[in-house]
Amino acid sequence: MISNPAERTGTDFIHFYTAGRIAQSYGYPAVYDLKLQQKFEQDVVGFELAEGQVLPYNHAPYLIPILKVLVSENYIMSFVRWVTFLISAYLASSIIFINTIFLEQQQKEKRILLSGMMTFYPFYVSILLGQDTALLFTGVVLWCVGFLKKNNWLAGLGLALTTIRPHICLMLAIPFLFQNRKIWWRFFMFSSILTALSLLLLGTEGLKSFVNILLVSCVLE
């Protein structure tokens, strides 16, 4: 797939790549500029894109510093580094999850479970497309492990990391508003830190562009 120009540029990774490259060239506040996103995506695909063909970067601002480090002018190598990062996050989270949930299983059984998780088809597809699902999974695992081990700080941190997909985050977090508010308040604290980091990165104008691109994405969907 990655050796085919049409297939590798038709994945979700292209807008993660664009965000990182804009941050490198113009700074964090410019990342949500739709015209700049179109310019960088056109440079990747090699032809002019119509407005509806641009895949806007509408993900959380706190991901941008990671993307800035991982991407370069070489799109293919940037894709490889991003996928390696995602696989590493998924692998580490899977090991933590298995060692927490399946305490009585032998190592051989745990290795079989890990093999099943690493070859899970939806995970494979998310990696193939360069999606950030592995990072969402990391947040869910930390939330689950923290909840089971009665570690409210870890559960709150995990929930905060699931803000990468706000609709899933709310589904997981709202019950704690009515039950076990200790986790809720820790989630609120970590989420506030991520929000403050995002505001620090983007500034007022960048934040306005972020809100605008979210509205544009809702209209497109």
Residue 217's pLDDT band (cuts 50, 70, 90): low
Of 120, 208, 199, 198, whose CA–CA distance to 164 is shortest? Answer: 198
pLDDT tens digits for 57-78?
A: 888 899 999 999 999 999 999 9
SS (H, E, C) 78-123: HHHHHHHHHHHHHHHHHHHHHHHHCCCCCHHHHHHHHHHHHCCHHH
Q: Residue 219 has what pLDDT?
A: 52
Where are the domains positioned within the chain? 5-220
Q: Does the pLDDT value for residue 221 go beyond 70?
A: no
Q: Does the pLDDT value for residue 94 go beyond 60?
A: yes
Mean pLDDT of the chain: 89
pLDDT tens digits for 6-55?
A: 888 888 999 999 999 999 999 999 999 988 998 999 989 888 877 677 88
pTM, rounded to two decimals: 0.89
Q: Residue 49 has what pLDDT?
A: 78
pLDDT tens digits for 121-180?
A: 999 999 999 999 999 999 999 999 999 999 999 999 999 999 988 888 888 888 887 887
Higher-pLDDT residue of 178 and 220 is 178
